[in-house]
Chains A and B, each alone.
Chain A
Amino acid sequence: SAVISQKPSRDICQRGTSLTIQCQVDSQVTMMFWYRQQPGQSLTLIATANQGSEATYESGFVIDKFPISRPNLTFSTLTVSNMSPEDSSIYLCSVYSEKLFFGSGTQLSVL
């Protein structure tokens, strides 16, 4: 199993600013995943964060908008850049070890 600490749990941000979300895992994991869940929608995979290499982004997501860092095997950050109200969502980090373990989520509201 894995325990993931994600912060902040929620934030309200102004349009045009950026927010960095952090996830800390209690064990070393090869891959970490970042998801977005828009209101009333399913989880959409943003990217896979690999240690020592650039993140792999899914279709519709780009590095300039969602830069990801993965400095070691227990930590990752996702930045939501130049935010607009359409970025208001829950952002979730997770790790996979036969099943997915999730952080508690970051509820982001952009005004």
Chain B
Amino acid sequence: SQQGEEDPQALSIQEGENATMNCSYKTSINNLQWYRQNSGRGLVHLILIRSNEREKHSGRLRVTLDTSKKSSSLLITASRAADTASYFCAPLPGGSYIPTFGRGTSLIVHP
């Protein structure tokens, strides 16, 4: 199974700034999902983008997918201190039913 590789590993910004996290993967996918984890607790699903979609929005979140480059990005606009968390991408390969996870991006938003 493949996992996404997030970049950067850590990101520190001021409240109000935008945060961009990137994800790369290796093989073709059905969809790619982004999750958030607060303080080592359970992960929460943020957004799913299908392989035939290029961009998706959900509130302050914007996700892009470039299947030719096997990459995705997550943009959080107008960040808040409450956005401080780890963010994981999880590509779902074709024929698989369970996504796998990279090490994530640790985001700190300073008030």
Contacts and interface: CB of A to CB of B under 8 A. Distances in A.
A22 to B, nearest CB: 14
Contacts of A105: 40-42
A42 B104 contact: yes
Contact of B42 (A45, A96, A103): A103
Nearest to B99: A100
Interface string A1-39: 000101000000000000000000000000101000100
A92 interface: yes
Interface stretch (B19-27, B43-51, B60-68): B43-51
A90 B98 CA distance: 19
Q: How large is the interface on A (under 10, 10 to 19, 20 to 34, 35 or more residues)?
A: 20 to 34
Contact of B101 (A40, A43, A103): A43
Interface in B65-98: 88, 90, 97-98
A48 interface: yes
Residue among B43, B98, B103 facing the most chain A CB atoms (10 A cut-off): B43
A103 B40 CA distance: 12
Interface of A: 4, 6, 31, 33, 37, 40-43, 45, 48, 90, 92, 94, 96, 98-105, 107
Interface of B: 3, 33, 35, 40-45, 48, 88, 90, 97-104
9 contacts: A33-B98, A37-B40, A43-B101, A90-B40, A99-B48, A100-B90, A100-B99, A104-B42, A107-B40
